[in-house]
Amino acid sequence: MFRRTIISTTLGVLGTFALLSSAALPAQAASAPSQRTIMISHTDTKKVYDTIITFHASKAMTAATAAKVKATLAKKMDAPEKIAGATASGPKGAQLYCDNAYNFSDSDGTFSFQHRCGGTTGPWGYKLSAGVCSLIPGGEDGDVLEIGMSWSRNGTLQGTQADHLDGFCGRQFHSTFNPDHDGDAIVYKDDFIFTVEVDGETGTANVAISGSFTSLGCQNRIACGP
């Protein structure tokens, strides 16, 4: 019953998060003392990938409270703030060889991918980090809604994969890019939405992931698996 209640509430804010991804977000976030939206993004040291977490408070916050919440979020994520609008977790135009397991991790979670040489599919996975789960009531057992992976193949939109309405933070979310052949170029985006509590403030947060890569076939004995 608890999970269904959370999901029902979360579905009602999907329209809100569509607005959060717009270019107008930074201006909205700066409008203290009625500030409600905070966005933090992080990157790895090699700047290969980064991820965005957005917090939308259930009620307006003062500038001081918003600053405190933002600092707590950054500390929880154990990563410095970055300019909002960065690309989210996963490969950026990478060349991923078949028969190799790939993992792209940052402070929000880990995106994984593997394509079999000569195969026709590309299984992917994503797991939220312990830092994210610590913000959610219930921790790793706390409710998370994955809205469904949207993606394109060689520039052609493939639609949205099935969502996970009964997810929880510790879950290994996964599905498959299908079809995915040797040499295909894949671009993807997904969102994970959940309720959080930060410094006494309750709100809805969103982790947005996205990336792009070429699913390469076997080109030499070193790059490819046995």
> pLDDT: is 55 or 9 the higher one?
55
Which residues make beta-bridge pairs with 177?
Answer: 122
Query: Mean pLDDT over residues 20-33, rounded?
Result: 38
At residue 90 the predicted structure's pLDDT band, cuts being 50, 70 and 90, is: confident
Task: Give the residue among 61, 65, 41, 36 at the shortest CA–CA distance from 53.
Answer: 41
Query: Mean pLDDT over residues 55-60, rounded?
Result: 87
Cα(140)–Cα(170) distance, integer angstroms: 4
At residue 32 the predicted structure's pLDDT band, cuts being 50, 70 and 90, is: very low
Which residues make beta-bridge pairs with 111?
Answer: 104, 126
User: Are 79 and 73 spatial neighbours (Cβ–Cβ below 8 Å)?
Assistant: no
What pLDDT, in 10s, does the model give residues 170-219? 999 999 999 999 999 999 999 999 998 888 888 888 888 888 999 998 87
What pLDDT, in 10s, does the model give residues 139-175? 999 999 999 999 999 999 998 999 998 899 999 999 9
At residue 31 the predicted structure's pLDDT band, cuts being 50, 70 and 90, is: very low
- Residue 224: per-residue pLDDT: 63
At residue 56 the predicted structure's pLDDT band, cuts being 50, 70 and 90, is: confident
> pLDDT: is 97 or 225 the higher one?
97
At residue 108 the predicted structure's pLDDT band, cuts being 50, 70 and 90, is: confident
Average pLDDT, the chain: 77
| Number of alpha carbons in the 13 Å side-chain half-sphere of residue 190 | 29
E runs forming strands in the chain: 35-43, 50-61, 92-97, 102-106, 109-113, 122-128, 143-146, 150-153, 156-160, 164-168, 173-177, 184-198, 201-216
User: Could you tell me the CA-to-CA distances from 111 to 29, 65, 187, 222 in Å, in that order?
Assistant: 28, 32, 14, 24
Which residues make beta-bridge pairs with 184?
Answer: 215
